[in-house]
Structure 1
Amino acid sequence: MAMAMAMASSFPMLTTTTFFFFFLLLSSVDSRFVVEKSSIRVLSPEHIRARHDGAIANFGVPDYGGTMTGVVVYPDKATTGCSGFDGPPFKSKSGRPVVLLLDRGDCYFALKAWNGQKAGAAAVLVADSIDEPLITMDTPEESRDEGYIEKITIPSVLINRAFGDALKLALEKRTEEVVVKLDWREAMPHPDERVEYEFWTNSNDECGIRCEEQMNFVKNFKGHAQLLERGGFTQFTPHYITWFCPEPFLLSRQCKSQCINHGRYCAPDPEQDFNEGYDGKDVVVENLRQLCVHRVANESNRPWLWWDFVTDFHIRCSMKEKKYSKDCPNDVIKSLGLPLDKIKECMGNPEDDVENSVLKAEQQLQVGRGSRGDVTILPTLVINNVQYRGILERTSVLKAICAGFKESTEPPVCLSSDIETNQCLDDDGGCWRDKDLNITACKDTFRGRICECPIVDGVQYKGDGYSFCKAVGPARCAVGNGGCWSETKNGQTFSACSEYELNGCHCPLGFRGDGHTCEDVNECQEGLACQCDGCTCKNTWGGYDCKCKGNHLYIKGEDTCIAKSTSAFGWFITLVVLACVAGAAVAAYLFYKYRLRSYMDTEIMAIMSQYMPLDNQHNAAQPLRPDSNI
């Protein structure tokens, strides 16, 4: 019954017959509400330390992906919070935020949260008054007219009676502050690098404040949604609620005007008056059309066009402004370049006495499975199969979607300054940093930061990310010489980093050290060069120079001196030797080309023989036999 009441609140002023149809549809399933498991943790006093469940309200702004630690305060009077609190705002002795504990009853949940927010509370816990399963605190339509719902910016959570009594008992003793931690980091699952989310909505814009709320959300969130969808970060699916007409009423005026496909799929009359305006079946048809728009757009790899269609439809074909006609949505479809024939094929004929596969699937999905819970109100947002709780507002919803990504896989839009704080800006978040190269291991994430050795200009750094990171791989020498020694003198540069080694530092030839510091080796002084008779040695940075006495040349590889040949005969011999070497090189090249061509010809013939059987004796192809296997 609670589920049917929640549905009825989505469409104010429903007729008795309309509500009866809602009830018959929804009473066939057991209502299941979403509860955030172990989302509240008592930190002190020690004797009541434990984790407890809570049900986040459908109003306010829960901090998805974050936490809040505060001191519990229970007012001395007006414990239900149904009237404003007199006196100064609530404060804690330690200066921590105040988590206001209130009792259930006497007024709307939202009013309790609003009064608590005005009294300085950072969050509100509402303790149930009876022992029962937790439900989701929703916003009755009547309270929206008072204008405070959209102003609620603090989170509210319903807790069970036993937990509430334990907190009150601890507060009565007044020995120490009761400190709790509200943790929403795992309230939104993040199984992989893509977030899947659903939006349960309605094409009708005459259902009051809720319809205005969802259309404003679609218009304001459209940019974020299309950016996420185009980048492949999210998978979005729209859904629409319908119900069926009971068989005894199939021929009634109510069913005929509110249902299609012989009473199988129904929606409320937009004006709640069967004698004027549009009919409920017009709403069902448009719901079906919007579902098919998304299906066809998705098949053409442009699923984000649904947001354009819904926005344009609201402007050009509004039922509230009496602009709707059967041709109007078709004009919107054509303007977006979508194939109208495929969308009509998807929709089928609403007058046929058959099941519509698209709408039938929607009715089945409406019943919650797994962690999602039943879809009982419009609009409802489901992210990674968990219902979103809080105000339907651009920034709040974006934070919830961002909380659904695995850490470090969030798209850039999730790291914008208006929804998260970059912890890497404060002393690199305590991670490793190379001040000389301005490289840090701190990586900003939606939930905070991680210390992970980076990749810089194609160079991979490896380490624990906290105390050290070092460059590895073949390109490591390009960035800071891979952390190895390097020095330049007299226009010459030597480095202990070698691009032929994947890691490690080794002093180059002519130097000695551990690779992080290298010193020049004095080959002359240590007797490592110029040991031939008549040689003189001069040490240079990174090498040495040897000179021979008189008319002699120094041969470094042999560490010896030979006489220079200046006679004509000597030059002749030198030219002959060079000519022989050049001739041998040319002959070797020609022989290589001949062998390569012979090898290629052999290979080609071998390949061709696999497909073209040859007769080497008669050099003619034999005819195929009739029974050949070809």
Structure 2
Amino acid sequence: MRATMAARGHGRRLAAALWLVVVAASAASARFVVEKNGVKVLSPRSLRGHHEASIDAKLATGCDPFGAASPFKSRSGRPVVLLVDRGGCYFALKTWNAQEAGAAAVLVADIVDEPLLTMDTPEEQTPDMAFLANITAPSALISKRFGDALRLAAADSSSSSSSSSEEVVIRLDWRESMPNPDSRVEYEFWTNSNDECGARCDEQQSFVSSFRGHAQLLEKSGFAAFTPHYITWFCPEEYLQTRQCEAQCINKGRYCAPDPEQEIGAGYDGKDVVLENLRQLCVHRVASARNVSWVWWDFVVDYRVRCSMKEEKYSRQCARDVVSSLGLPVEMVEECMGDPEADADNDVLRTEQIVQVGQGSRGDVTILPTLVINNVQYRGKLESTAVLKAICAGFKESTEPPVCLTQDLETDECLNNNGGCWRDDKTNITACKDTYRGRICECPVVDGVQYQGDGYMDCKAVGPGRCAVDNGGCWKGTRDGKTFSACAGSESLSGCSCPAGFKGDGLHCEDIDECGEKLACSCPSCSCKNTWGGYDCSCGSGLLYIKVEDTCVGKSTSAMGWLATALVLSCLVGSGIVGFAFYKYRLRRYMDSEVMAIMSQYMPLDSQTTENRPLREEAVQA
């Protein structure tokens, strides 16, 4: 949001010009961490640099009515951001008065040099504060030094009579205060089962009821991981035996909650609230173990409808009925809760006390309700659309779920001049990708085909299958029932090349006139006729065209040539058969001789018997 800044201090209303950019910052020097944004001033030059601003806890800041008869206006017609001093009334009233006077946003300047703090709505809300629910203008607290500098710049700008004087233009982008590391957002909601704590309890009930649908959709789709939390206190050791501790605590003073009616012995006790908080934690644990963690939202909404304190139905039996109606095992929930009378730690509530204490850049949870998104405490209105916007800001760019890209949550920057990205008007394929934080220019993937390029001036289809999308951006033509393409398809991963019979750069191809350019069918007896993508060549009577030789030969000569070729082939085949038969004959003779040589070593053969017989006869006669 860009706007002209107006300043009100010491009875003056001033206009100024600055550019405000919000960036995430983390710093923790105490248990309570103030969520801050870095303010970068680009104009005027004297204020250029980074400054800190803390984010208002309820988007509310402001004091006396400015008068609707003369709403704030800037010379350029931009929306006005009001600069006011801290003090005199609630921040919320300052913002309401500024909003009523036409201001688009509010900056509250501190009046003393001190660390920034988080602005919050009044704890005690009276009927004359009904305007709190209607505040829509964003606001931030800035340091005294920065506020003084802005006030001086505003005074210089407004006192100049020149229309060309440097008007101060600011840009507020609260989305940048939310870390966005990956494609899943982790968020927590610190709440209370008590429905008798006034406006704060009503606010929590309204939020849970209205946000349930978004929460369950995000969690079922794997886009978000949600965890409920409940704040508990402990009873000091010296008060353990008092009636107050016994009425407000369980597990011998380890886990306590304030009395709902703030009157011990009247109505419900604090320990009733602790037990119900514990039950709701166990409902989430049991549901998570059954992979239906989003049932917690159904339980909380149903419990507040069916088991209200106001109707005196806030009881264990009512809670058991709600658990059973949602299909969760009552026994597992109560087993998770443990024994509230035991003089021992409760694992579930002990964990709550541990995570309530901040670590690193995350401060302690001290305000109810508190929403923590991506480990940063959310400072904004507890309203369904506002919280959804904050969660959407927690996704890594281009990984947001569809619900974050609806017209109610963000502006599609690709609709205006295609976001300045590349686009193929013929196929309506674009590199502009709308995200919650803006737009990115990135070559797309279409029907499994990857486009590559810078995304701004150029994107080209690459890889196998690229020819299936607009023919890979290459030339393609059809005529007389024949189709030719310059896309090489699977033969090449990129590039265009005109097919045979055409010439050009692949993006534009034209037919080659082989006949006119004497590229083929140029023999004396040839008759050439050009066709689209080729040519037809014929010869005179009695002649046959040989394309490889680009010549015409007589059909009889051709026939004799074929006969001679056939005769030669026949001779070669015959010679091969004879050679193979002779080879088989020689191989068999060789094998026979080898077998006989082996057998002769073990038994006499016929030839050997004949030779030895005379010797045996002579031996007998002797």
With the shorter chain as reference, the TM-score category is: 0.7 to 0.9
Correspondence for 1:100 among 70, 82, 86: 82
* SS in structure 2 of the partner of residue 327 of structure 1: helix
The code of the aligned residue for 2:290 comes to: S
Deviation at 1:35, TM superposition (A): 3.0
Structure 2 equivalent of residue 165 of structure 1:
148
Deviation at 1:373, TM superposition (A): 1.8
Aligned pair count reads 527
Contact 1:524 1:544 in 2 (8 A): yes
* SS in structure 2 of the partner of residue 44 of structure 1: coil
Deviations 1:453-478 (A, max 9, x none): 11122221111111111111111111
Structure 1 equivalent of residue 65 of structure 2:
84
Correspondence for 2:534 among 540, 543, 558: 543
The code of the aligned residue for 1:109 comes to: F
Deviations 1:95-142 (A, max 9, x none): 222221112222111111111111111111112222221111111133
The question of 1:245 aligning with 2:235 is answered: yes
Correspondence for 1:448 among 438, 442, 446: 438
The question of 1:115 aligning with 2:97 is answered: yes
In 2, Cα distance between the equivalents of 1:308 and 1:552? 92
Query: After superposition, where does 1:92-491 map in structure 2 within 5 Å?
Result: 92-143=74-125, 145=127, 146-173=129-156, 174-175=159-160, 176-491=166-481
Aligned pair in 2 of structure 1 residues 91, 531: CA closer, same or farther (>3 Å)? closer
The code of the aligned residue for 1:263 comes to: G
What is the RMSD computed on CA atoms of the aligned residues?
2.6
Structure 1 equivalent of residue 495 of structure 2:
504
The code of the aligned residue for 2:229 comes to: H
Contact 1:261 1:353 in 2 (8 A): yes
Deviation at 1:81, TM superposition (A): 5.1
Structure 1 equivalent of residue 605 of structure 2:
none
Aligned pair in 2 of structure 1 residues 556, 312: CA closer, same or farther (>3 Å)? farther
Q: Which runs of 5+ in 1 are unaligned?
A: 1-28, 62-79, 581-630
* SS in structure 2 of the partner of residue 449 of structure 1: strand
Contact 1:41 1:180 in 2 (8 A): no
In 2, Cα distance between the equivalents of 1:563 and 1:443? 68
Contact 2:216 2:294 in 1 (8 A): yes
In 2, Cα distance between the equivalents of 1:179 and 1:551? 91
In 1, Cα distance between the equivalents of 2:499 and 2:430? 29
Contact 1:60 1:153 in 2 (8 A): yes
> Which 10-residue stretch deviates more, 173-182 or 481-490?
173-182
Identity of aligned residues (%): 66
Aligned pair in 2 of structure 1 residues 315, 519: CA closer, same or farther (>3 Å)? same
In 2, Cα distance between the equivalents of 1:81 and 1:139? 11
Contact 1:289 1:343 in 2 (8 A): yes
* SS in structure 1 of the partner of residue 319 of structure 2: helix
Contact 1:245 1:263 in 2 (8 A): yes
> Which 10-residue stretch deviates more, 83-92 or 280-289?
83-92
* SS in structure 1 of the partner of residue 125 of structure 2: helix
In 2, Cα distance between the equivalents of 1:535 and 1:46? 84
Report runs of 4+ in structure 1 exceeding 6 Å deviation: none
Contact 2:62 2:90 in 1 (8 A): no
**TM score, norm. by length of structure 1:** 0.79
Structure 1 equivalent of residue 504 of structure 2:
513
Contact 1:204 1:270 in 2 (8 A): yes
Deviation at 1:355, TM superposition (A): 0.6
Deviation at 1:497, TM superposition (A): 0.3
Deviation at 1:550, TM superposition (A): 4.1
Contact 2:284 2:295 in 1 (8 A): yes
Structure 1 equivalent of residue 45 of structure 2:
46
Contact 1:90 1:120 in 2 (8 A): yes
Aligned pair in 2 of structure 1 residues 517, 129: CA closer, same or farther (>3 Å)? same
Deviation at 1:179, TM superposition (A): 4.0
Aligned pair in 2 of structure 1 residues 521, 252: CA closer, same or farther (>3 Å)? same
Deviations 1:130-183 (A, max 9, x none): 222111111113335320101100011111222222222333443454444434
In 1, Cα distance between the equivalents of 2:414 and 2:283? 43
Contact 2:36 2:53 in 1 (8 A): yes
Structure 2 equivalent of residue 56 of structure 1:
55
In 1, Cα distance between the equivalents of 2:212 and 2:249? 30
In 1, Cα distance between the equivalents of 2:529 and 2:76? 76
**TM score, norm. by length of structure 2:** 0.80
Contact 2:125 2:199 in 1 (8 A): no
Contact 2:33 2:361 in 1 (8 A): no
The code of the aligned residue for 2:66 comes to: F
Deviations 1:279-310 (A, max 9, x none): 21111111111112112222222221111111
Greater Rg by CA: 2
Deviation at 1:524, TM superposition (A): 3.2
> Which 10-residue stretch deviates more, 101-110 or 555-564?
555-564
The question of 1:33 aligning with 2:16 is answered: no
